[in-house]
Structure 1
């Protein structure tokens, strides 16, 4: 009788829904955790919104990038939001359409004598043919792999913030960087009006949700991809981007 009464008045608690654990390293404005403990970033908002529409709750756990990837590879966490490289696709699966395409956008200095030629660039080979020089920063792996390796003359700044002053001082012809994070740095350096985004983007890099092959959440990827399309169509993606990225 006691058990019956207890069961009537204290029903068993329903099992908690599983939570998708996403590993990340701070990468503003994609995803970061503020000093108040709250997550922000356009990729964070896009992924959280898409998962919410299919009824999946996520937690975001910060680790050094190599450790974050290792945790998903080992099955200790579920997912990453990053580029689906061949190495990562050995231990994770993803969806067809990217969450975001991170461009490699071309900048030059105002009134460059070859501005029209720079605007006509269609590929990295065109940079080489035009004899243009590129300013970058030390340790830029993308530049080493795609620009320097093709014999294009490259000038290195000690850090990313320094490249804009070098370009403004005509120390090279162009810079190739993601426009989404450029203008705050340009304004901080006091170079507003001295640099030009020419409207050319090379080899954009796709960002996806990658879920470990052993995760119980692998089955959500098809629906997740459909929701991404819905969010583009209903303006959600543009609305989120507008809160983080300014273009000229």
Structure 2
């Protein structure tokens, strides 16, 4: 009887150990699967930063730079396009992991970033060829001049730079839900100026059929520093210091200049 009881106990203990081992193995497998999940990056379709070509392949120099830097760290990524305000909401709400933008105090509440920008976007002032204040606009030297001239700025919804440096100064701003419509609004005198990056602006201006009605001035305003922002809830946020080092190496190697050069030549 006593030996029978020991055999039963031993059998139950063995089954319990087997169950615990199986549970531990499943936990290890699950954690490994989570770690292997690609970084979910969201972006607004905006050539030449990021877009898909006719074959559905991701292209654009922001994509090329960040994708390569992530690959050097062994991080896979997936890229999905949404309107810009939706991109920010998805990262804020934890439904997406990352986006590429200018760090602002509001964005840094829910996302982390790295120290050094991987690209500085120089902004130029655009207006219409028949604007009554064209001479004064060409003479702008600072944002103070925009305020003094009581100019209305046309931009796109979710432009954090505009919110920080233009709208916050009390300068009247009209927002378009789509970036491409900024130029239609400007051409139709819905505002006085737009402040944008020429390399991306001119293809949209030409596509909108308003190239003959808009002029790019020589006025250059502050450059916009672009970073990768990762949700603070995402484990990959811990790798941002390493990402920063990779970016610095790519800059030192001339790799980032090479990537940008492909798109500048194409323009």
TM-score, structure 2 as length reference: 0.64
Work out whether 1:100 is the aligned partner of 2:122: no
SS class of match (2:263): coil
Query: Where in structure 2 are there 5+ consecutive unaligned residues?
Result: 1-28
Asked whether the equivalents of residues 183 and 210 of structure 2 are also in contact (C-alpha less than 8 Å), the reply is: no
| C-alpha displacement of 1:55 | 2.5
Alpha-carbon distance between aligned partners in 2 of 1:138 and 1:115, rounded to the nearest angstrom: 23
TM-score, structure 1 as length reference: 0.68
Asked whether the equivalents of residues 135 and 174 of structure 1 are also in contact (C-alpha less than 8 Å), the reply is: yes
Asked whether the equivalents of residues 154 and 186 of structure 2 are also in contact (C-alpha less than 8 Å), the reply is: no
Match of 1:42 among 55, 61, 86: 61
Correspondences of 1:24-173 after superposition (within 5 Å): 24-29=42-47, 30-34=49-53, 36-63=55-82, 68-108=87-127, 118=137, 121-129=140-148, 131=149, 133-134=151-152, 136=154, 147=166, 159-163=181-185, 165-166=187-188
Asked whether the equivalents of residues 98 and 229 of structure 2 are also in contact (C-alpha less than 8 Å), the reply is: yes
| C-alpha displacement of 1:106 | 1.1
Alpha-carbon distance between aligned partners in 2 of 1:67 and 1:195, rounded to the nearest angstrom: 29
Whichever structure has more helix as a proportion of its residues is: 2
Alpha-carbon distance between aligned partners in 2 of 1:165 and 1:68, rounded to the nearest angstrom: 28
Work out whether 1:176 is the aligned partner of 2:176: no
SS class of match (1:84): coil
| C-alpha displacement of 1:86 | 2.1
| C-alpha displacement of 1:87 | 2.7
Alpha-carbon distance between aligned partners in 2 of 1:69 and 1:173, rounded to the nearest angstrom: 28
Alpha-carbon distance between aligned partners in 1 of 2:244 and 2:233, rounded to the nearest angstrom: 19
| C-alpha displacement of 1:188 | 3.9
Q: Which residue of 1 aligns with 2:255?
A: 236
| C-alpha displacement of 1:81 | 1.9
Pair 36,26 (structure 1): closer, same or farther in 2 beyond 3 Å: farther
Work out whether 1:187 is the aligned partner of 2:206: yes
Query: Where in structure 1 are there 5+ consecutive unaligned residues?
Result: 1-12
Asked whether the equivalents of residues 122 and 222 of structure 2 are also in contact (C-alpha less than 8 Å), the reply is: yes
SS class of match (2:203): helix
Deviations 1:38-66 (A, max 9, x none): 21222111101111222222222445656
Tell me the matched-pair count: 231
Alpha-carbon distance between aligned partners in 2 of 1:113 and 1:242, rounded to the nearest angstrom: 37
Alpha-carbon distance between aligned partners in 1 of 2:240 and 2:254, rounded to the nearest angstrom: 21
Decide which structure has the larger Cα Rg and report it.
2
Asked whether the equivalents of residues 22 and 59 of structure 1 are also in contact (C-alpha less than 8 Å), the reply is: yes
Q: Which residue of 2 aligns with 1:226?
A: 245
Asked whether the equivalents of residues 165 and 189 of structure 1 are also in contact (C-alpha less than 8 Å), the reply is: no
